[in-house]
Amino acid sequence: MSTQSHPQQTPSYTLTCRMSHEAAALERLCQVVRIRGFRIAKMAVESVLEGTDETLDIALTIQGARPVAVLQSQLEKLHTVAEVKLASPALAHAASRIA
Amino acid sequence: MNGAQHILDTFHRHSIQTVFGYPGGCIMPLYDALVDDVRVEHVLCRHEQACALAADGYARASGELGVCIATSGPGATNLITGVANAHRDSIPMLVITGQVPSGLIGTDAFQETDVLGMTLGIVKHSYLIGNANELPAILEEAMALAQSGRPGPVWIDIPKDVLLAGTTPTPMRQSTPQDHSCPNLSGALAMLRAAKKPLLYSGGGISLAHAEKNFREFAQCSGLPAVVTLKGIGNAGKHSAYNLGMLGMHGSRAANRAVDECDLLLVIGARLDDRATGKLDGFAPNARTIHIDADAAEFNKLRDADLALRGDLNAILSGLSAALQEAPLAISEWQKQCQTSRTTGGFQAADNEEPLAPITGPAFIRQLSRVTPDDTVIACDVGQHQMWVAQQYQFDHPRHHLTSGGLGTMGFGLPAAIGAQFANRQSTVINVTGDGSFMMNAQELATIRRYNLPLKLIIMDNQCLGMVRQQQELFYSNRESQIDLNDNPDFVAMARAFDIPALKIERTDQIRRGVETILAYNGPMLLHVAIAREENVWPVVQPGGSNTDMIDETRRTPADNKEQVA
Ligand SMILES: Cc1ncc(C[n+]2csc(CCOP(=O)(O)OP(=O)(O)O)c2C)c(N)n1
Ligand SMILES: [Mg+2]
């Protein structure tokens, strides 16, 4: 599968995602990214309090050969995900790093 | 009211009368509350996997939410296969497990497992309740979520202290209302009108959306030749003029040929699974695709759609029907071609005329189909017998055919039949199983006896894991490996040990009598059907091969070429 291919040649994408801060929220997100054929190269997470609701703002750089729109709709389907936005794709140069 | 009592009260308010479960340490407060609650019938299965599969069968047969309950640790892990099964087939299910007390989570406490972490990939959503006051809102949300949009299992893991604590409900969360919108249909109609050879391809999404009636109306008024997936069997009804049957690996020649030739594929409530499409490169090579589904994530996942429509299938189907009733499609040539193809390339199993001949699987299922009442529910297991049911049994409604499609779970049939019998207490429910599959949940004979369910069990005994044997024969140079079951127990004696009467048949002339006897018996009964070990399911497409390369019996490897490995 695409996750085995060389990271330098694999398309890379930046996503931003807002989701509610429930138990296992991040694991759920990461699990979908992995099983749908992408690897995480970079990830930044910040928790934000909106009224009584705590949400997570997540910026993700991911790499994978499959169509990213399919991943996006899988992420949008998660019950706790409020929004997923895709920044324009760019080729990955940096070595993967999980923050 | 404590958390446990609140759960039962919620079941009552939502008219949930039957739940399937198994008690243990961390879920004991809920079982304690059950002692004083006569409104909910708790069915004690004999393995948590069977609880989940019974809840699944209940949901499939009724179209309502299935509920299963287990304790923490091994109770929860035993549920996993059943919940995964429901997830893969989008079955609405509520799963409730006890968890170790909040303060002990993360301390490797007795019977602690990380249920939330372990089950992320097999649920639509899941919760670990952190505080008793959250429980009421989460319960409501979970039940709505399990049944809305594309349904699926929702799992609530509840620490024991939360079950015991008093609940002061917090305000309900705002739920997203069900989407009943209908997208613009003009593009789809234009494509349908432009096509010369349009084909309707439907799946399990039709019954999941409760759209059986609108689908049938659409199939009829469009006159579209139609193929179905394994889970779509029954969508078109018994008497549909243009139904070519199941497509795919064990599909009919007529169905696979029509897909190969069509110039427009109208996919409704199906996800283009690899067992159905075969090798994607060769799948419907001349066709444009319209994909209609409740789940946008299915679009362009495996095949790019020329037009994708997301929305309520009922609204979409009735919109399409209305437009086509006004101006019907002009596809009579194509209809004729498909009808001819159905006569020559449908599923045909000759009835064996020789009374003393051994029973063959397809002929048995044909006979069964003729004798059973119209509202019979058949819960299958997994293997060759499952495919013979799919090919030969005439289903009039998709909810009459319970089969483990996405996960292909051996052991599904018996507990699913139990669930279905609780959902339809007056209907005839039959579990058609194999000698391998039966042994995966055979302990549920005790459940049948305990509740005196009038279930009928049919074991198609070929003394082997037939489907695996077939693939070894055809695709692994006849090298049989670990498929032999010739030391099966005496199934008749086994049933009798559970106080379930049973009989065995092995000749063609015994089929009718055998089936009629179990159907007429007022209570559970098992029919042990001995069939030939060497029988295969035909036609077959090699895994990963193209549906146009169907292999049929004439290309079978001679038996003397057989090499015994294990
Ligand atoms: C739980 C599980 N384990 C293994 C398999 C793989 N498998 C698919 S069909 C099959 C053989 C089933 O044998 P049986 O129930 O006797 O049915 P038959 O094919 O002989 O009709 C096996 C082992 C499976 N689908 N599910
Ligand atoms: Mg068998």
SS (H, E, C) A5-70: CCHHHCEEEEEEEEEECCCCHHHHHHHHHHHCCCEEEEEEEEEEEECCEEEEEEEEEEECCCCHHH
Rounded to 10°, the helix B186-194/B313-326 angle is: 50
Contacts of B105 in chain A (CB under 8 A): none
The reply to whether ligand 1 has any atom less than 6 angstroms from the CB of B467 is: yes
The reply to whether ligand 1 has any atom less than 6 angstroms from the CB of B535 is: no
Please state which of the ranges A9-23, A85-99, B271-285 shows the lowest mean pLDDT: A85-99
B369 within 8 A of B378, measured Cβ to Cβ: no
Enumerate the β-bridge partners of residue B429. Answer: B377
Give the β-pairing of B288-293 and B502-505: unpaired
CB contact under 8 A, B120 and A28: yes
Question: What phi and psi, each to the nearest 5 degrees, are found at residue B421?
Answer: -70, -35
By three-state DSSP, how is residue B321 classified? helix
The count of structural domains within chain A is 1
Question: What phi and psi, each to the nearest 5 degrees, are found at residue B90?
Answer: 55, 50
B439 within 8 A of B410, measured Cβ to Cβ: no
CA dihedral (B163, B165, B171, B177) in degrees, to 10, reads 0
pLDDT at B66: 98
B48 is catalytic: yes
Q: Cα separation of B124 and B505, whole Å?
A: 44
Helix, strand, coil percentages, rounded to 5, for chain B: 40, 20, 40
CATH architecture of the domain formed by B186-345: 3-Layer(aba) Sandwich (3.40)
Q: What is the pLDDT along chain B (566 residues), one digit of tens a residue?
A: 999 999 999 999 999 999 999 999 999 999 999 999 999 999 999 999 999 999 999 999 999 999 999 999 999 999 999 999 999 999 999 999 999 999 999 999 999 999 999 999 999 999 999 999 999 999 999 999 999 999 999 999 999 999 999 998 676 666 666 777 889 999 999 999 999 999 999 999 999 999 999 999 999 999 999 999 999 999 999 888 899 999 999 999 999 999 999 999 999 999 999 999 999 999 999 999 999 999 999 999 999 999 999 999 999 999 999 999 999 999 999 999 999 999 888 887 667 779 999 999 999 999 999 999 999 999 999 999 999 999 999 999 999 999 999 999 999 999 999 999 999 999 999 999 999 999 999 999 999 999 999 999 999 999 999 999 999 999 999 999 999 999 999 999 999 999 999 999 999 999 999 999 999 999 999 999 999 999 999 999 999 999 999 998 865 544 444 433 33
Q: Chain-centre distance of CA B79, in angstroms?
A: 17
CA dihedral (A69, A70, A76, A79) in degrees, to 10, reads -170
* Dihedral class, residue B69 (left if φ above 0, else alpha if ψ from -120 to 50, else beta): beta
The reply to whether ligand 1 has any atom less than 6 angstroms from the CB of B387 is: no
Cis previous bond, B539, omega within 30:
yes
CATH number, domain at A85? Answer: 3.30.70.260
User: What's the B469 CA to ligand 1 centre distance in angstroms?
Assistant: 10
B336 is catalytic: no
Q: How confident is the model at residue A25 (pLDDT cuts 50, 70, 90)?
A: very high
User: What's the B463 CA to ligand 2 centre distance in angstroms?
Assistant: 5
Q: Residue B112 to residues B77, B86, B98, B417, B466: CA-CA distances in angstroms?
A: 11, 24, 10, 31, 39
B110 is catalytic: yes
Single-letter amino acid code for the residue at A29 = L
B69 within 8 A of B21, measured Cβ to Cβ: yes
The reply to whether ligand 1 has any atom less than 6 angstroms from the CB of B462 is: yes
Contacts of A77 in chain B (CB under 8 A): 295-297
Contacts of A80 in chain B (CB under 8 A): 125
pLDDT at A65: 96
Q: Residue B483 to residues B241, B466, B564: CA-CA distances in angstroms?
A: 40, 7, 11
- Report the residue of chain A nearest B119, measured CA to CA: A28
User: What's the B232 CA to ligand 2 centre distance in angstroms?
Assistant: 25
B361-565 has the same fold as B186-345: yes
Ligand 1 atom with the smallest distance to the CA of B361 is 21
B504 is catalytic: no
Statement: residue A79 has pLDDT above 50: yes
Q: Which fold has domain B361-565?
A: Rossmann fold (3.40.50)
Q: Is A1 domain-assigned?
A: no
Single-letter amino acid code for the residue at B320 = L
Contacts of A74 in chain B (CB under 8 A): 297
Show me where the domains of chain B are located.
3-164, 186-345, 361-565
Q: Extract the runs of DSSP E, i.e. beta strands, from B229-273.
A: 243-246, 264-268
Mutational test site, ligand 1, from B275, B382, B412, max ligand atoms within 8 Å of CB: B382
CB contact under 8 A, A73 and B124: no
Q: Chain-centre distance of CA B117, in angstroms?
A: 26
- Report the residue of chain B nearest A77, measured CA to CA: B297
pLDDT at B353: 76
Q: Cα separation of B43 and B442, whole Å?
A: 17
CB contact under 8 A, B120 and A35: no
Catalytic pick among B20, B48, B364, B535: B48
Q: Which fold has domain B3-164?
A: Rossmann fold (3.40.50)
pTM: 0.95
Q: Chain-centre distance of CA B62, in angstroms?
A: 13
Which sign does the torsion angle of CA B398, B403, B408, B409 carry?
A: positive
By three-state DSSP, how is residue B93 classified? strand
Q: Chain-centre distance of CA B552, in angstroms?
A: 26
CA dihedral (A85, A87, A88, A90) in degrees, to 10, reads -120
Task: List, in order, residues 6 or more apart from B239 with CB less than 8 Å away.
Answer: none
By three-state DSSP, how is residue B58 classified? helix
Statement: residue A90 has pLDDT above 80: no
Structural domain span for residue A63: 12-98
Enumerate the β-bridge partners of residue B98. Answer: B158
CB contact under 8 A, B124 and A79: yes
